Amino acid sequence: MADTLLAASNLDAGVALVAAVTTDLVAEIRDRHDLWPTATAAVGRLTTGAALFGVGLGSNERVSLQIAGNGPLGTLAAEAWMLDERTAGARGYARNGRVELPVDARGKFNVAGAVGTGSLQVTRSSGIGQPYVGVVELRSGEIAEDLAIYLSQSEQIPSIVALGVLANPDGVVAAGGILARALPGADEGALATLEERAAAMPPVTQLIARHGDANALLRELAGDLELRSHHAIGIRFACRCNRAKVEAVLLGLGADELLQLTRERDRTEAVCEYCKTRYVFTAQELGDLAQRLTG
């Protein structure tokens, strides 16, 4: 089944839920970056979290998540935005994708060990004015709990976040997540019930492997709580890089640095951190850029 984001709510109880199946998305990120299984789990969780946070974004808005940890993965980052009215795009990477740590007795990835301690930064950009930036210290490094803590501390939204990636050396078997958040005037009893169900529910990847769709995740968490206003959109890997943006970065180096590069090499390559696309500039092209700066 195609990757999907499915949102629903119960306004009487004051809760909104969104579930995501991101198996294909995480698989493409894994393949593009040649991520090892533990790194796949970490990047997949963060990218799925960005997708969940991005539900409801407008056409010029995007949400970016960045983890600065002292673990072997280094920096992790993920973004989500709307490609059109029916499809969201997302991307993610880790500074060091070749990280593999022993799993625990339950076969669970040691994402916390790979991430280490540090901070989580969430940036919401609208294309107008300054972006909203919130930062919290990592509590667990498992990512889902850290995202819930961010929503509670930085945006004052009581939330439940569950994320999962099931991967092996051959690829990604299942990936997805679910986010439940309180609306203004939320019923505390309904929130407590959702928290109890979240604590007792099977792993997200188990539910996806068994049922294969986002609706099963919603129903597992919601239980008897009636959900309305179901809204589904597709989600896929996408990247916002292009040659013009790379040129802008090169122009930021200044004319002297660009001219120095033309003397040192015949061609210069720039590689997108997210999609691994290579942009090649000849010495002549760099010289032309330097000329644009000097007039």
What digits encode the pLDDT tens for the residues 257-277? 999 999 999 999 999 999 999
Per-residue pLDDT at 107: 77
Burial class (CB within 10 angstroms; exposed 0-12, middle 13-18, buried 19+) of 256: exposed
Q: Is there a single domain that holds both residue 73 and residue 197?
A: yes
pLDDT in tens, 14-32: 999 999 999 999 999 999 9
* Residues 37 and 175 placed together within one structural domain of the fold: yes
- At 190 the pLDDT is 86
How many independent structural domains does the chain possess? 2
Q: Are residues 195 and 63 located together in one domain of the fold?
A: yes
pLDDT at 127 over 80: no
Backbone phi, then psi, for 94, in 5-degree steps?
-125, 145
Span 150-202, pLDDT tens digits: 999 999 999 999 999 999 889 999 999 999 999 998 888 888 899 999 999 99
Chain segment 55-114, per-residue pLDDT in tens: 989 888 999 999 999 999 999 999 999 999 999 999 999 999 999 999 877 778 999 999
| Maximum Cα interatomic distance, the chain, rounded to a whole number of Å | 69
CA distances from 101 to 42, 75, 108, 112, 230 (A): 12, 17, 10, 10, 39
Q: Which of 189, 221, 237 delimits the end of a domain?
A: 237
265 and 125 share one domain: no
Q: What share of the chain is helix, strand, coil (3-state, %, to 5)?
A: 35, 35, 30
Alpha carbon distance 40, 258 (integer Å): 36
Q: Judge if 229 and 263 occupy the same domain.
A: no
* Beta-bridge partner residues of 288: none
* Domain shared by 195 and 130, yes or no: yes
Band the pLDDT of 126: cuts 50, 70, 90. confident
Residue with tokens 């299984």: 37
Q: Which residue has the tokens 């013009």?
A: 244
What 3-state DSSP class applies to 230?
A: strand
Q: Give the containing element (helix H, strand E) for 94.
A: strand 87-94
pLDDT of amino acid 140: 94
More confident residue, 270 or 128: 270
266: domain CATH number is 3.90.1280.10
| Domain shared by 216 and 255, yes or no | no
Q: Helix (H, G, I), strand (E, B), or coil: what is residue 15?
A: strand
- Residues composing the chain: 295
Q: Which DSSP letter does residue 131 get? A: P
Does residue 249 sit in the same domain as residue 181?
no
CA distances, 87 to each of 9, 59, 81, 119, 230 (Å)? 20, 11, 9, 30, 15
Confidence at residue 1, expressed as pLDDT on a 0 to 100 scale? 66
Domain boundary among 194, 215, 237: 237
Do 197 and 52 fall into the same domain? Answer: yes
Task: State which of 237, 252, 281 marks the end of a domain.
Answer: 237
Q: Are 50 and 101 in a shared domain?
A: yes
Residues 133 and 267 in one domain: no
Return the pLDDT at 119.
98
Torsions phi, psi for 58 (to 5 deg): -85, 180
Angle of helix 23-33 relative to helix 37-53, nearest 10 degrees, comes to 130
Sign of CA dihedral 255, 257, 262, 267: negative
- Per-residue pLDDT at 21: 97
Angle at 221 between CA 215 and CA 225, to 5 degrees: 90
**Residue of 87, 75, 4 whose CA lies nearest to 43:** 75
Range(s) of the domain holding residue 275: 243-294
Q: Are residues 277 and 208 in the same domain?
A: no
For residue 226, give the CATH number of its domain: 3.55.30.10
Beta carbons within 10 angstroms of residue 100's beta carbon: 16
CA distance 37 to 74: 16
pLDDT tens figures, 130-160: 899 999 999 999 999 999 999 999 999 999 9
